[in-house]
Structure 1
Amino acid sequence: MLGIIGGTGIYQLDGLEVTGEHDVETPFGKPSTPIVEGKIGVRTLFFLPRHGRQHELLPSEVNYRANIWALKSLGVTQVIGLSAVGSLKKEIAPGDLSLPDQYFDFVKGHREKTFFGKGLAAHVSTAEPTCQRLSMGLAAAGERVGIRLHTGKTYGCVDGPRLGTRAESFFLRGAAGCDLVGMTNVPEVFLAREAQLCYCTIAIATDYDCWLDDPNQHVSVEQVIARYGASLEKAKTVVSAFIDDYAEDGDCACRRSLASAVLTPKEALNKEQSALLELLSS
């Protein structure tokens, strides 16, 4: 089952025939909004706007654990995220789409980044944090509709909500080796792996952050909004093309990420911990 998490500017999904809405309670509180269930053609999917339906949530205010848990509890096995980002490389021009396959966690504030703890210990590998099969499927869908997606890119995640300094921009594109900068994919990508979900983000470049010498190229909210519309339509076109040929891959290694990750013996778990592990492992 496919779930889509919409980022900035994506508060509903065009072409989705809504068939229901799920106000999910999770052990971690409420997700950003009730989750919409619907159909595109014959395909059933679930949609969740990351920032809320009126974009009322800052990146640090998003309840990432509740979002991922709620999607998992509804039977979602594959998640496509849509995210606005800044480009840290000249070849990724504003308007371009990318599929990051690596992440650099530069979040310094407090965000709950794991489902584990409090008596339940697990260490999930994130050497390859995104789903290669899902990424390849999206890239192939883009090729079918004539839209190129940059692949093999690294996303640096920062706290926000402020836009970055030039020093931070140079650090991320230099020492950290990042190609893109955004505010929301951490811890989303890592929680998806803990929940044994296939996960990939379509990153929509809106600007060159602030590493270029020309101050007119430095990111601003006005610049982001002005450039975003056409790029957003490209991303939606890719997603639609992907959905047209969608086939769930139950044999993906992402769906077995907890196989050797949990260290706490089952007999040591209480009722709540057992229930949590049972859902994550399903």
Structure 2
Amino acid sequence: MTVYAIIGGTGLTQLDGLTIKSALNLDSPYGQPSAPVLRGEYAGREVLFLARHGHPHRIPPHQVNYRANLWALKEAGAQAIIAVNAVGGIHPAMGTGHFCVPHQVIDYTSGRAHTFYEGELEHVTHVDFSHPYDATLRDKLCGALAAEGCAFSGHGVYGCTQGPRLETVAEIARMERDGCDIVGMTGMPETVLARELSLPYACLSLVVNPAAGKSTALITMAEIERALDEGMGQVKAVLARVLAG
């Protein structure tokens, strides 16, 4: 039976209903992970959980140690990863409260440690990243979203920005021209690091606000927190369905 790891983002620093059996404090070759890897039981099966931003939420997206996090999950026995991300909506269909299971990603970040293949290498390694998200895992997420009656899109392009600031109207306009449907700050390099470790990886994105210029109102943290509070119950129900399947 596949051992799933869940990476919780903003709004999901802990997984209610997870019966914790152990907390693994793993010291990776790349430094400390954001938080201990929690090993436990959820929806009747073994699962690993890691809070991407720490618990409590304290690590900004550009300072997350993505390599340590992915290495720790692999070391703990993860065989597949479901990442939960809070995002802004760019495409008109991506309104607040909508879910997206992206099929592509565009990386706008800079300066992040984005590969395990560096340093004193015996040979250069290139990984195929044509299709960054695992199709089978994406299908399971879409099936669970449909079963829960959630409004969702089964495909989309995730544009990953550096943060921690939100984007300008001009930046979002550029991203829309590039084909992005949603915008977040944590999708990369997490996605490619999973690929380098041969871990099937898919992203469950919850839209928590319209991206800059997609609404006449200013983006406020109160608005984002309200959307997170309303959407996390559905996130947990979807995760439980995938794990129970």
TM-score of the two chains, using structure 1 as the length reference: 0.83
Q: Distance in 1 between the 2:209 and 2:195 partners?
A: 29
Tell me, in whole angstroms, the C-alpha distance in 2 between the residues paired with 1:134 and 1:149: 15
Match of 1:136 in 2: 139
TM-score normalized by the length of structure 2: 0.95
Which of 4, 7, 32 in structure 2 is aligned with 1:5?
7
**Structure 1 stretches of at least 4 aligned residues deviating more than 3 Å after TM superposition:** none
The alpha carbon displacement at 1:221 in A equals: 1.6
Contact 1:139/1:148 (8 A) holds in 2: no
The code of the aligned residue for 2:240 comes to S
Question: How many residues of Structure 1 are paired with residues of Structure 2 in the alignment?
Answer: 241
1:215 and 2:180 aligned: no
Q: In 2, are the aligned partners of 1:100 and 1:153 still within 8 Å (CA)?
A: yes
Cα distance in 2 for partners of 1:98, 1:244 equals: 21
Instruction: Show the counterpart of 1:39.
Output: 41
In 2, Cα distance between equivalents of 1:2 and 1:242? 10
Secondary structure at the aligned position of 1:202 is classed as strand
Moved more, 80-89 or 139-148: 139-148
Cα deviation for residue 14 of structure 1 reads 1.3
More helix by share: 1
Higher RCO (CA 8 Å, separation ≥ 6 residues)? 2
Aligned equivalent of 1:111: 112
Q: Is the 8 A contact 1:88 1:208 kept in 2?
A: yes
Structure 2 gaps of 5+ residues are: none
- Alpha-carbon RMSD across the aligned residues, in angstroms, is 1.1
**What is aligned with 2:168?**
165
Return 5+ residue gaps in structure 1 as ranges: 246-282
What SS does the corresponding residue of 2:126 show, helix, strand or coil? coil
Q: Answer with 1 or 2: which has the greater Rg.
A: 1
Give secondary structure in 1 for the equivalent of 2:145: helix
**What SS does the aligned partner of 2:102 have?**
strand
Contact 2:87/2:207 (<8 A) preserved:
yes
Equivalent of residue 154 in structure 1, options 137, 152, 157 = 157
One-letter identity of the residue aligned with 1:125? D
Identity of aligned residues (%): 34
Preserved CA contact (<8 Å) 2:156 2:180: yes
Q: CA deviation at 1:101?
A: 1.1
Structure 1: which amino acid aligns with 2:98?
Answer: D
Once the 2 structures are TM-superposed, how far is the Cα of residue 41 of structure 1 from its aligned partner?
Answer: 4.2
The alpha-carbon deviation at position 119 of structure 1 amounts to 2.9
State the shift of 1:45 in Å: 0.6
Residue equivalent to 1:236: 236
SS at match of 2:131: coil
8 Å CA contact 2:26–2:32 kept in 1: the answer is yes
Question: CA offsets, 1:130-171, max 9 Å, x none?
Answer: 100000011111222222421220000001111110000100
- Tell me by how many angstroms 1:71 deviates: 0.3
Separation in 1, partners of 2:97, 2:44: 30
CA contact (8 A) 2:43 2:240 kept: no
- SS of aligned partner of 1:185: coil
C-alpha separation in 2, matches of 1:221 and 1:162 = 12
Deviation at 1:210, TM superposition (A): 1.2
Structure 2: which amino acid aligns with 1:23?
A: N
| Secondary structure at the counterpart of residue 234 of structure 1 | helix
CA positional deviation for 1:215: 2.6
Partner of 2:185: 183
The answer for the alignment partner of 1:224 in structure 2 is 224
